[in-house]
Structure 1
């Protein structure tokens, strides 16, 4: 088994993200690895900046999403700190989740990504896409997918 030094863990508000965090915590302990937790607050690419100026409700939604993500990151960070694991957090916005995750993986020279998969199939997968599937197909480093 390879020695992992830098583990990236993308999270969202789903329970499966927290399962991925638990796996990362366990692996980081055994490998003495550093961990970076990332959350991506995606902005709809079809919505222009002008729309935000005239739609305060949408602006408020994204501000709340960012605040929620920041609180989630801080909460998860404390789990790693309590166990003496070196951990950093990143909040990315303005790009798709896949782009954000791959960008951070490259920036930190991650050698493993641990992430949850919602397990969508069929129409849900076609309509909503699969970040996990995108990461698996586009990422050059090992990816550990935690399923529900």
Structure 2
């Protein structure tokens, strides 16, 4: 049987992320795995726009997004710490969520990614895309997709 030594858990603000965290907690306990929990702060669509530096609302938005992501990662980290599971957190900027997840997986030599999927279908899936689907198709390591 394959044993997973380092599990990567990408999270966002959605409830499905927390379902993935719960699955990672359970698996990490069973396998004595290390865990890295990560978030990607979305690519800034205004980079390069002349008025960007004079648009405080836009700057405030991205600063708040980063603050929220850091708080979320710290809260999740404590769940693993309470259970005695070795855990790190990473916050990635300037890339798409898929790129960030694959990049961190390579960087930490993860051997499993556990992530949530919203389970969108039809036109929603076509228009919105799916980070889980992209990671599943691009990742060279196993991906466990949690759906609720």
State the TM bucket, normalised to the shorter chain.
over 0.9
Query: 1:61 is matched with which residue?
Result: 61
Q: Distance in 2 between matches of 1:58 and 1:123?
A: 30
Query: 2:73 is matched with which residue?
Result: 73
Relative to structure 1, the CA distance from residue 30 to residue 43 in structure 2 (aligned partners, 3 Å threshold; closer, same or farther) is same
Aligned ranges for residues 1-148 of structure 1 at < 5 Å? 1-44=1-44, 46-49=45-48, 50-148=50-148
Relative to structure 1, the CA distance from residue 53 to residue 75 in structure 2 (aligned partners, 3 Å threshold; closer, same or farther) is same
Q: Deviations over 1:86-105 (max 9, x none)?
A: 00000011110000000000
Relative to structure 1, the CA distance from residue 43 to residue 83 in structure 2 (aligned partners, 3 Å threshold; closer, same or farther) is same
- Unaligned runs of 5+ residues in structure 1 are none
Q: Distance in 2 between matches of 1:70 and 1:8?
A: 16
Q: Deviations over 1:37-90 (max 9, x none)?
A: 00001114x532334213221111111010000000000000000000000000
Q: Distance in 1 between matches of 2:34 and 2:127?
A: 35
Q: Secondary structure at the match of 2:89?
A: strand
Q: Secondary structure at the match of 2:107?
A: helix
Q: Secondary structure at the match of 2:3?
A: coil
Q: Secondary structure at the match of 1:88?
A: strand
Q: Secondary structure at the match of 2:102?
A: helix
Q: Distance in 1 between matches of 2:85 and 2:52?
A: 40
Q: Which runs of 4+ in 1 moved over 3 A?
A: none
The alignment yields a C-alpha RMSD, in angstroms, of 1.1
Q: Distance in 1 between matches of 2:123 and 2:51?
A: 29
